[in-house]
Structure 1
Amino acid sequence: MNLARIRFHKRSVIVTWLVSYVSVLLIPIMISGILYAATWHVVESEMNRANTSALQQMEQAIDNSLRGIERISLEIALSKLVTGFIHTAKPLTDNDYYDLVSISSDLRLYQTANDFIEQIYIYYRNSDTVISTRDHTNSRILYEKTREQETMSYEEWAKFFAKPYMQEYTPITFREDGQALKAVMYAKSVILANPDQPGAVILFVIKDSKLLANIPSTSTKTSIAVLDKENRLVASTGFEARSAFLDYGKLTGKNGMFMSDDGDQRVAVSYITSDSNGWKYIYAIPAELFDDKMAYMKKLIYASVILSLLMGGVVTYLFLRKNYIPINVLIRSFSMKSGVSFHEGSNEYGYLQDALNNTFAEKEQVDRRLHQHRDAIRSHFLQGLLKGRLEQNVPIHESLAAHDIRLASPHFAVLLFYVEHYGKFDLGEHAPPEKVRMLHFLIMNVAEEVIGDANQAFITEIDNMLACIVNFGSDPDADELKRIAEQVKTFLLDHFHVHLTVAISEIHQELYGIPPAYQMTLAALEYRLVMGSGEIIRYQDLPSSETAGPSRSYYYPLTVEHQLINLVKAGDFEKSNAIINEIIEINISDASLSVPLAKCLMFDLTSTLLKTMDEIGTSSHHRAFVVNTDQIDRLITSSTIKEMKGQIREVLAEVCQFIQEGREQDYNTLSQQVIDYVKGHYADVNLNISMVGEKFELTPSYLSKQFKAQTGEALLDFISRTRLEEAKRLLSLQQLSVSDIAKQVGYSDINTFNRIFKKFEGITPGKYKDIQ
């Protein structure tokens, strides 16, 4: 395969590989660059070390010379002859000239003691006399010889000596014998007892050529300079003009090295700082000296880079060709067999990944569908096993093996789980199918976990219930089935508030005993009509089974039914509810009531209650009885006797409350009518209980009893109290006699009036009238 035929698309794996190989190829090139930089640093460090060594030698030589000059200045300043001439004033005397000669002679001795000293001057400000090693003169002549700059005026020069005390170095241009030379002047004041008196200054002139004479030089191209703290160029050699880097402020730190431009060439500058006077000693060499030392190293680096590029390019080509051939073959194979075409410009690895993902996705989808169908087929097989509908053409052992069912023993039983209430899974009247499936799945897992490893469980959904075939692993035990049912029921109730009714069959032998066991669970589940929902019902406990005890006859006699009807009509809820509870308790107390008889009992009780309600509504004089349709529907559609019992209690409470309210309304109407009648006829002497009873067509005793029941007061007492209220009003008016008042309130006999008045008021009518 030729790489020239490959199109280098930006997404192709070829580009990725090429970038990877080039990245690897850059590593030796980068290493070569690092080696070159490291070599440059080493050479630079060696150069700096050599320059620093030379600068330290220069610093040591100059500092020693300067310290020697400072010692000489101290000796001169302490000379009595020198200090004694300070007080001399103009004009000079012969003795003064003699002292001048002596001082000059001493200065020549000091000059010869130090080779660095070019000339020594002592300037006496009091007499304006300057003494040197040769002669004496004045300050004007000294100004001409030791000016710092040509443009400096005499006054500016004189200010330098006007300081009260000085001990410093300053660069000057020294003029002598018609020549102008660069030099350094050291000035030191002679200390006087009286600081206000003009003193003297000792001046040492040092040529910079002598100052730098003993400094070693590694090359003729080397430049040396000395800067003082005032950034003045004290001495230099090799510099035609002051360079930009000769700046005291830029030379930070005690020592250092840097690269700088000096005119048209680049130089490497090293410097150190003197500890004694703070001068900067500067050493500058051309940068080409570095280049000469690095030239061979550059050649090696260039050769290494070129060789790496050549060999790396060849290796890259070979590996690209070798690695792409199998990828190309694989892509062609996938493209032809999978039907997924490879588009030019796509990434080969991306194409392979998409093709593999597509293949795996199809495989997973096929497996998932097979798994779904396998579960459905297995569930269908278990349903057929429960209902006794198995394929006759397929041996049973082959069907078991096909559905991965391995039996531990020939002993079987069936548990049937019926969900009474969904608990936390309840979402209203119509629960979503996925919630129901989730709950069924939960029940399956709990049942399988409880049954445990000792026994096997095969669970399937059938007719909106869950049937569990239990295959015992050891000796079968009927109590073990009840324990399993109780644990499953308790767990779901405690954790999810799910109410279950569990039906348990008897234990059967062989697979052909499973259908009869399933029918037993259906019969046991039907008996929930008697026992109620949320119970564990074993088939062997049913009245119709052979193991049950003798059955009790159906109990609901006509006398009890008539008694119940009368109590309901009377509105006595407590007694009527007690009779219903007694009827139900007698029928189901020993669990001997069969399902058909239980249905008859539910029908009879419901019928009795409905007939009584209809009769109450028809016989009501004041308003018709309104029947709650929802309650009646729930009463008729009750699925268990316990449920029906609760519904009957609700309906019965409503009926009795209606009857009681109707009676209270009738009673309240009668008492009010009697009160109004008595207040209108209290003056009638014939008014009594019999007269009122005849008015309302009631017997005196019944009328008196109902009136007291409604008002809490006897009717006869109410008649007497009404008459006495009117009598007290008339007595307080003081217009009629007691006998006349008795007749007006319905008493024909005055003695009867007096007796009744004293009975209720405690005093006679006469006394009552007197106190008003």
Structure 2
Amino acid sequence: MTYFKSRLFLKYIWSYLFILLIPLVFLTVFIYHNAVTNLRTEIEQSRLAQLTQAKVIVDGRMKELGEIASRISYDKRLTPYRVHDPIYSGEAITALDQYKATSSIIGEIYLYFHQDGKIYSSKGLNDYDVFAENVRFRSWDKDALYRDLNTFRYPTMRASDSVSKPNGMQETMLAYLIPITPNNPNPHGTVMYLIKEPELTGLIDSILGNYQGLTYILDNQGRPLVDNRQGEALSAAEAKSLFDTLTPGIYDRTLNGKPHSIVSVKSESNGWTYVTIMPSAQFFSSVLHVRSFIIMLFIIVVIAGAGIALLLARAQYLPISTLVAFAASKSAAKRPGTADGASGNELDRIRSALQEYSSRIDLQEPFARNHFLSLLLKYGNAQSLTPELQDAFDLSFDRARHFVLVAGWEQDGELGRAERQEIAELLAQLEFPELAAQGYGVELSQPDQFGLMLSFDPGSGTEEFEQVRKIVEAVRSMMLEAFDFIPVIGVGTCYASPDQLNQSFIEACSAFELRMSSGSGTVTYFEKLSYTSDQAVWIPANTLMKLAQSLKQGNYDVSAQMIQDAVRGLQHSELSALLMRCVCFDLLNTILKTASELGHHRLLQEMAPNAAYGKSLDELERGLLNLAAQLCNQVEQTHRKEEQSVIDRIAAYIDVHYVDANLSLETVAFEFGISPSHLSRSFKEKLGLNFIQYIWKRRLEQVMHRLATTGEPLKDIILTVGYLDTPNFIRKFKKETGYTPGQYRKMFAAGNGLAESAADAEDL
């Protein structure tokens, strides 16, 4: 897919994957850790229960041994007298054998009386020396054994020890010594049990189960009695350190450099401690099935998430790619020979295109606004403005009344470029809050003339004309304060709809022309112009002036309305047909006079007879309308020809002076005596390129020609054609041609025999 070639598309995919993976990883780790923790807790609780059960069993067995020793101490068959009596000694041996049989953990039972040289067992009577020779403990010598048998006052369990038998066999056994009579501070003897170690370790074998670790039984002094090891052992130092600080409960500790879980319980009856020690790492290995399931689930979710991420990224990227394609098709950067893989991602290219469009709009907006307002003055129809267009040009025609004034200046020479620009900026948008009025200025095609469209809301108790006069005086005062020259102002009639601004503009032009011929620095109101003495018979003079002005402007809509209004007024009068025809000659004379002033004498000869000799008033009206249409069409054609001629002369002027770095729209407009806005609008309409683009095209063509035919340095060539910013020119050159100037020169260097040495340095 071409999508995967886009870094932005891949970035979207990765962003969605990260949104999925980050919580998924945390969730997976949480689930896995929770499973391990639960398993560990279960194992530890199981060991705790098993240790407690082992403790109960061992305590029971030890209690049982204590009870046997107590019964021995009170058994008449086992008194010192009867044991030493040859007649009853057999009964004593039998009795000991019977006591031995009562407990399954007793390996052998011995009875010893203090300071006696004999020791008795279930197998018979032996001298102590013979006994010590037959039963030898590896870490408990004969003397120590004799001392302990005579001195112990409390039940004592010795740790497991290796015991050698007369037959040469060795067994690991524990010795449990109980003084008799039990709990007597002055015992007279000792009962010693020999217990095979497996008898005790068998009770704790099942605690570890399948896990590695150690199980200990410690005496009341913390010394190991027995231990059960599965795959691990503690050093003596670590065991001593652990047993010295051991407390009942479940806790963690590091042993042999590894974390271990320790479970410990303590017997209340004899103080023994039961301990299991297991490496904690086993708990993680015990959840392999859980881990496998989690990994499988993780992979499935990632694959599904990747698919969803792909769909979401595509859905998000699709409108962006559409914008990129649109921007590329419209951008000046998209030229033949330009690489598709432009630098930056799609958003950067869109941003660049928007910046380019923005710069174009910023450059053209004043001219576009002026052009649009000029069309309103000519054709009206302000209601066709869309809200977006009004917002773009910051226009609003929401007031109740609307009129137009035309301002100009009578002085020697035309206004300078700076002065004209200041006036345009001053009149671009006006606001008079105290008069509830606002206005928009537009530069007219006639030199040093500006139109101003004004809207206001009538005030209560104030005549409309008086409010118009105050608004006009406010505009005039503002202009007088800003400039040293006095404006001449013509004011059109007020209308309720902004669609009639074109009529008010015609009236303002009429008022402006009338006053221009009779005085300077004055304000002329169209509705105050003189009327004929008998309004019932003659067509008002202001109507004829308005008709003449609309014909001069080539505005057929206004001229047709003037003719129709005049004829309609005559039709409602009580004049005779002959008199009405005579009155209509005022309209015909106005049209013919205007045509004569405009130099259309051929039109007079062709159209005047037909218009003058209609059979009825309606036919006369149609003739006059036809004549007005022909005249307006001739005016439009003349204007177009004049504009085309002017534009041709301006284009020729640019072809000669484009190398001038100071060449600008304002200087050319000043040179040809037209307004910059009108020049910008007409230039684009006639040539299809705006003013700046045309100059750039001429300069570019000259640079390309010199690069291909000369060896001049690039900087000198650029300065020669009037461009001062060399780096900017190089960037624009590459956008237009797809090559840098150095690359372009190399393309022609071989064929023309030009040196290529300068080409490498020209792109710096």
Q: Same fold (TM over 0.5)?
A: no
Larger relative contact order, structure 1 or 2 (CA cutoff 8 Å, min sep 6): 2
Structure whose alpha-carbon radius of gyration is higher: 1
TM-score normalised per structure 2: 0.39
TM-score normalised per structure 1: 0.39
